[in-house]
Amino acid sequence: MVKKFIGVLSEEKIRRYSAVPLSSVRVIRQDKLSRMDLGENGSLLVMLIPYYVSGEKRNISVYAVPRDYHLYFSILGEKLVSSLKEDFPGFVFRTAADNSPVDEVDAAVRSGLGFFGDNGLFISPEYGSFVFIGGIYSDMPCENYGIPSAVPGRRECSHCGKCRKACPGDPSDKKIGCLSAITQKKGTLTSAEAELIRKTGTAWGCDICQQVCPFNTGVKDTEISFFLESRTPYLTYDFVKNMSEGDFSSRAYSWRKRETILRNLAILEGKEEESGGI
Ligand code: SF4
Ligand code: SF4
């Protein structure tokens, strides 16, 4: 009989997942992991959650176009935990939301679901780098899941250099830095930072080192309905200013408060004066 959790993953169109022993992954918060009390044989169920949608005119990163991924994962996590408890009574299953005690990207690589690119991102052969990684923690040994193991190192970054060449900022240069980080920086920007926003037409994030990566060529659109709904690919100053509190707080860019993205949009639209300066 098909396990209930496999049914949930299939309904959600989550097709790539694997399980790894917790003892094999990089722990970043031992205190938090110890509090989960998962014993020595615990495991992590790692899932790839693709979110790419093509054919949109955007001025923000693809990940920020739908509602915040964390909203999706809190619903998915609940459904999965409840199905896993039915499938494997007596074991503990937990989500970690934004505060993972282990490096989930490292876990996804170790579980054979993909590899690290020179652009600093996790890349999956199926979905490129446009994936979120979700994890369910358990005291159950990973063999119990009955999932065929993926093979680590199946593909790897070709070191073609395209991501570095196309980068409009310079992550190693403290004077400019990564455009994505600049768009998320609070307060006043330097004139060089504001100019980078203007030059690239970017209001939030930066996907350039992803867009040029050959592993993202022809990547399929997500089938997950959450990421297909409520999309706002092209933001304007007035649109964001007038968003309801409920809508705004469901967006990935809300964590830096409304004034941060409004500042970026004011730069793009020449409204610095109107918005009180940058
Ligand atoms: S663009 Fe080339 S070097 Fe950069 S991550 Fe992709 S394959 Fe690797
Ligand atoms: S996100 Fe943009 S600015 Fe940052 S490293 Fe990638 S290409 Fe460069």
Interval 229-256: pLDDT, tens: 999 999 999 999 999 999 999 999 999 9
pLDDT in tens, 85-120: 999 999 999 998 667 999 989 999 999 999 999 999
Could you identify the atom of ligand 2 that is nearest to the CA of residue 177? 3
- The pLDDT of residue 55 is 94
Domain residue ranges of the chain, discontinuous segments joined by +: 4-145, 169-205+235-269
Does the CB atom of residue 122 touch ligand 1 within 6 A?
A: no
Angle at CA 182, nearest 5°, toward 220 and 236?
A: 65
5: CB partners within 8 A, 6+ apart: 80, 83, 84, 87
- The pick from 62, 176, 208, 212 for probing ligand 2's pocket by mutation, whose C-beta has the most ligand atoms within 8 angstroms, reads 208
Q: What angle separates helix 4-11 from helix 69-87, to the nearest 10 degrees?
A: 160
Say yes or no to pLDDT of 195 above 70: yes
The predicted model scores a pTM of: 0.92
Ligand 2 touching residue 168 (CB < 6 A): yes
As a whole number, mean pLDDT of residues 188-211 equals 96
**Is the distance from the beta carbon of residue 162 to the nearest atom of ligand 1 less than 6 Å?**
yes
Ligand 1 pocket, residue 208 CB under 6 Å: no
Percent of the residues in the chain that have a pLDDT greater than 70, as a whole number: 94
Compute the Cα dihedral for 250, 251, 256, 260 and give only its sign: negative
User: 29, 36, 34: which is closest to 99 by C-alpha?
Assistant: 29
Q: How far apart are CA 124 and CA 87, in angstroms?
A: 28
Distance of CA 29 to the CA centre of its chain: 20
Nearest CA to ligand 2 atom 5: 178
